[in-house]
Chains A and B, each alone.
Chain A
């Protein structure tokens, strides 16, 4: 009984901390304390967190290397812009439509390709991501290679913040469920988990579709903040960006992915003027992390209350 009330208290504490953080930033924004460049950084940070956490579900937890995440982001972005700007429907319809479309695309791509393993899967998803981009370039309805300009700015701080929290919540809870354990078992040993009676294809597709939906969500938020979307924005270099975050944070650690996403966003800001140098640093990071710490900085460990209570010698 005491255990239960304690965990309930902790839950309340978490909610209070989250709301406090939200109101603090909201206050700073409305009081005009945050300049344009930091507002953009804040937005990219939330979007990158969503992308990294969702890609980590596929690459880190399920162990299926996907290099087509930018393609799903593109689908989310384009479909939502069609809904909000071409059809004049509310933003929430755009969000739902974008996520749904990306999820369907994830299903269509996932069912055939997830039979493939390792590097073949990586190449196939890369190919699909590029096909999505090339097809978008050839559709006149969305202006082809020029892209769509003058998108209404609907993405605000509350949307960004709660979308990121929602993504993290769904994926953390998914991983704590029996579904999550089945997904991790596929990463550990696909043949063994199949022998234990787990329908591996089903769980792989499930993880892939959920990951794709959240990539779509990130695309929706992106499109409605930055005014302009072009197919070229979502090329495979964008997918590599996300891969860097996941690898750096630790394949299979949600908190690791969040930390890496925040870190990479600030690194991007700091190296804005040296775009090429930034890519060289990314590249070296990938190589060095893989050679010296292939499990990523966090490995598959999570940062949680337990970690802190360990450091502070908290009550048990």
Chain B
């Protein structure tokens, strides 16, 4: 039982990271019906910005995270303007291939500029301490990841539910044409969605840096795919679904690693994806909508 609870604690912080990335997938999908393949790589860029902010500028972890979020928000907006906007009225396949292209571009331009070797996240930026509570070992970095992720999600919920921008985002995702007629600037709303989603991914990137201590140019691929699975699990396009999906994926993965074969940890995520897609493609919280001709 103690072992199980320990795994749960490890899973919760990993799940919080997945949830943050999944939120970006789900928001972008909700608004322009596109799987933003490059989302995991934005997370990678965020991790690198955080890394350089700490090593070159000597900032602390919170400032590094904010810097990464701002940088990636701008990057996300530029990406959308340059690559996705010209394709808004073309086929879904064209948009998807562009997304794959952007993902490869971010990965390998980082390799070209910074080299393929991994970088070690400075331990001094976040000295690790372990607390012992009732026989369970909790690391301060786990608390940090969990608390800041939940805080960001609360802020996101506030933006979506209580602000005018959030209302505009919900309106555009519900019915784009009607939103235009109501005087909402669709372009601006989509840009803001990309900015918020990318900022959340950047925060997750810095968290992964703190959590696993190493970063490399291809680190975004696997967490990106897993976060996508999380988004589909919760019902893609639904914000609460992405949060729940992220936590479920994190817990599942730590349980497989703790009790099963750790070599299969990546296969489990893909297996889950295939099962959901076949049994309930709309996800746990999705509503089934018929196909319109």
Interface on A for B, CB 8 Å cutoff? Answer: 59, 63, 65, 112-113, 115-116, 118-120, 122-124, 126-128, 130-131, 134-135, 137-138, 191, 240, 243, 247, 251, 276-277, 279-280, 282-287, 290-291, 294
Contacts and interface: CB of A to CB of B under 8 A. Distances in A.
Contacts of B87: 290-291, 294
B100 A240 contact: yes
B267 A113 contact: no
Contacts of B34: 119
B105 A287 contact: yes
A283 B101 contact: yes
Interface string B219-240: 0000001001000100000000
B59 interface: no
Contacts of A282: 101, 104
A276 B102 contact: no
B277 A120 contact: yes
B101 A290 contact: yes
B97 A243 contact: yes
Interface in B223-281: 225, 228, 232, 261, 263-264, 266-267, 270-271, 273-274, 277-278, 281
Nearest to A59: B93
B124 interface: no
B101 A128 contact: no
Interface string B67-101: 00000000000000001001100111111111011
Contacts of B134: none
A276 B112 contact: yes
Nearest to B96: A119
B105 A283 contact: yes
A134 B267 contact: yes
Contact of A284 (B105, B111, B264): B105
A291 B87 CA distance: 6
A286 B263 contact: no
Interface residues of B, number: 43
Contacts of A123: 35, 228, 232, 273, 277
B116 interface: yes
Nearest to B263: A138
**Most interface-central of A128, A131, A247, A284 (chain B CB within 10 A):** A131
Given A138-B263, A280-B108, A280-B109, A127 B273 contact: yes
Nearest to A125: B274
Contact of A286 (B100, B225, B270): B100
Contacts of A65: 93, 96-97
A130 B266 contact: yes
Given A240-B104, A279-B108, A287-B105, A124 B267 contact: no
B293 interface: yes
A81 to B, nearest CB: 22
Given A283-B108, A286-B104, A287-B98, A130 B270 contact: yes
B98 A286 contact: yes
5 contacts: A119-B92, A128-B274, A280-B104, A287-B102, A290-B101
B3 interface: no
**Most interface-central of A118, A128, A283 (chain B CB within 10 A):** A283
Interface string B143-174: 00000000000000000000000000000000
B264 A134 contact: yes
B18 to A, nearest CB: 16
Given A119-B92, A294-B90, A138 B270 contact: no
Nearest to A236: B221
Contacts of A285: 101
Contact of A135 (B103, B267, B277): B267
B175 interface: no
B89 to A, nearest CB: 11
B291 to A, nearest CB: 7
A279 B107 contact: yes
A179 to B, nearest CB: 22
A282 B97 CA distance: 12
Nearest to B116: A276
A113 B274 CA distance: 8
Nearest to B92: A118
Given A120-B281, A138-B263, A284-B101, 7 more contacts: A112-B278, A120-B277, A123-B228, A124-B273, A124-B274, A127-B271, A283-B103
A138 B267 CA distance: 11
Contacts of B107: 279
Contacts of A277: 108, 112
Contact of A113 (B102, B228, B277): B277
Contacts of B109: 280
Nearest to A280: B108
Contacts of A280: 104-105, 108-109, 112
